Amino acid sequence: MSTSRPRRSVLVLLLALAAWLTAAGTAQAHTGLTASTPAEGSTVTEPLAAVTLTFSAAVRGPEVTVAGPDGAAVATGEATADGAVVTVPVAPTATGPHIVTWAVTSADGHRLEGTVAFGYAGPVPTTAAPATTAAPATTTPEQARPSEAAASTEDDEGGSSTAALVAVGVVVLAAGGGTLALRRRR
């Protein structure tokens, strides 16, 4: 009979370890940006009609702005989400650096934010509206661009704290199981 108690204790510990590994994997599986068109750091030389963001899982509630080199918005419509793909129509009015600032909500409810920077060297309209050229930009695209480290840190912190809570729970359960096994042994 004494050989079955240690076996039971080992079984309880193995089950707790399996539960922890399963929960930790789930907690770390956050949605993230996997690709964009145009790609980060690329230069577009052809006409550009839309910016596309592709995520690792379905997203909802997309908020996307695209700013040209003068800080003016170049999006010509609202961003739409179709599963894991977000698209926003654009019409660049000037060549130079462009910044895509995006925010979406993942399926697990986490709010994700980020930026994509690209250059545009394609065709632009030859006549510009006076209203768009008369107003100076209040921020440069670099100033408007949030820190990539801050955006990714916010998302990572949620996963890390969940994994830490699961780990603490497993340790408490294992300690309780070990204590129970020792008391029954006496």
pLDDT at 153: 36
pLDDT at 12: 62
Q: Which residues pair with 106 in a beta bridge?
A: 59
Winning range, highest mean pLDDT, from 71-75, 163-167, 181-185: 71-75
Residue 151 vs residue 13, higher pLDDT: 13
pLDDT at 125: 85
Residue 158: Cβ-neighbour burial (10 angstroms; 0-12, 13-18, 19+): middle
CA–CA distance, 105 with 122 (Å, rounded to integer): 32
Query: What amino acid is encoded at 111 in this protein?
Result: R
pLDDT digits 0-9 by tens, 38-71: 999 999 999 999 999 999 999 999 999 999 999 9
Q: What does the mean pLDDT of the chain come to? A: 76
pTM over 0.75: no
How many residues does this entry show for the chain? 186
pLDDT digits 0-9 by tens, 137-162: 444 444 444 444 334 434 444 444 45
The answer on pLDDT for 114 being more than 60 is yes
Residue 27 vs residue 33, higher pLDDT: 33
CA–CA distance, 85 with 60 (Å, rounded to integer): 10
The answer on pLDDT for 77 being more than 70 is yes
The answer on pLDDT for 182 being more than 80 is no
Residue 90 vs residue 19, higher pLDDT: 90
